Amino acid sequence: MRSSGIPYLLPMLVLSGLFFVLPLVLLILFSFTRDGAVSLQNYAAFFEDPFNVKVLTATARLGLETVAGTTLLGLPVALLYWHSGPKTRQVLVFLSLVPMLTSNVVRTFAWIVILGRQGPISQTLMALGATGAPFSLLFTEFGLVLTMTQIDLPLIILPLVAVLSGTRRDLSDAAATAGAGPWRIFVTILLPLMVPGLLAGWILVFASTSASFVTQAVIGGARNVYVPQLIYREVGILFDWPLASAIAVILLVLTGGTLLALASLARHPRFARYV
């Protein structure tokens, strides 16, 4: 008799149920309470304040900008992987993984040096005569997107590499034989093949960026406010935990909504055959 495999999943299901699903349910329930009674007041309070809506929009924008940045930098790496031999492929995967071996906090603080007035970006542009005075990219959304792009880059490269490593390389050779140029091969063969990897990477990058409290606070400063900082403020400064729970649920819905949008995109007839 064939085993269903469920017994092997039991430990993971129990752990997930106890330490993820149950706390999540409690968080959601808590977000609907105010002064001990069931209420929608927390959600109403959040959306009534234009500042909060602005912060929510800024968080979504930050996530999308980082998705764009990681895609722009990740695609060339994936293409290099596609065209490389086995040894170079191993090196590329290793180099993609190396940043993940260091703490996110350490990488974030390294970016303070890189983006600061005395950092290499400012000094290089000054040496090239592009700017007359030192400048800082700290506390700017551009600096934050740059940082998040570097930090989250492995999250898009690895799914792309996973997809490409399972694909026959002679597909592009066959297209070339049929007369397709490099650009046509990329657009009509490689890019569609990479769609599942891109979707997985986009979801990971968006979720990671929109919830990245430390990097947002350190590189963005106090003037670029995002949802995780609002949650921290409500939990640790104002001690309004029901409202903090509601904001956490809103962030979850924002990430979940993006996930659903991307899943719908994947079901679009143009892409569905590749997923």
Partner 1 sequence: MTGPMLTRRHFGALAGGLATAGLLRRAAFAANPGVVAATFPGAWEDAYRTVLTPMVKAAGFDLTVAPSMAQDQLAKVMASRSHPAYDSLLMSPGQTAVATENDLIQKIDPSKIPNWSQLDPSFQTEWGPTVTVEVNGIAYNPDLVPAPKGYKDLFTNPAYAGKVSWTGFESNTAVMAYTQIAKIFGTGPDDMDAVFKLFKDHPESLSAVVDSTNHQMSMYQQGDIAVFMCSTNNVAHLKSLGLKAEFVHPETGSPAAPVYLHLTKGAADPDGVYAYMNAAISKPAQEALQQPPTEMFPTNMGVDLTPSIAAYITKAQVKTLVYPDWVSINKNRGAWTKSFDAIVAK
Give the footprint of partner 1 on this chain (CB under 8 A).
Answer: 51, 54-55, 109, 112-113, 116-119, 136, 138-139, 141, 217-218, 221-225, 229, 233, 235-240
Q: Which residue, 63 or 119, is less far from partner 1 as judged by CB?
A: 119
Nearer to partner 1, 98 or 113 (CB): 113
Q: Which is nearer to partner 1, 96 or 224 (CB)?
A: 224
Q: What's the closest the beta carbon of residue 218 comes to partner 1, in angstroms?
A: 6
CB 116 to partner 1: min, Å: 4
Identify which of residues 207 and 244 has a Cβ nearer to partner 1 in the complex: 244
Residue type at position 61? R
Q: Which pairs with CB-CB distance under 8 Å and at least 24 residues apart come from 226-234?
A: 226/55, 226/58, 226/59, 226/62, 227/55, 227/56, 227/59, 227/251, 227/254, 228/59, 229/55, 230/52, 230/55
Q: CB of 206: closest distance to partner 1 in angstroms?
A: 21
Query: Residue 109 CB, nearest distance to partner 1 (Å)?
Result: 7
3-state secondary structure 146-192: HHHHHHHHHHHHHHHHHHHHCCCCHHHHHHHHCCCCHHHHHHHHHHH
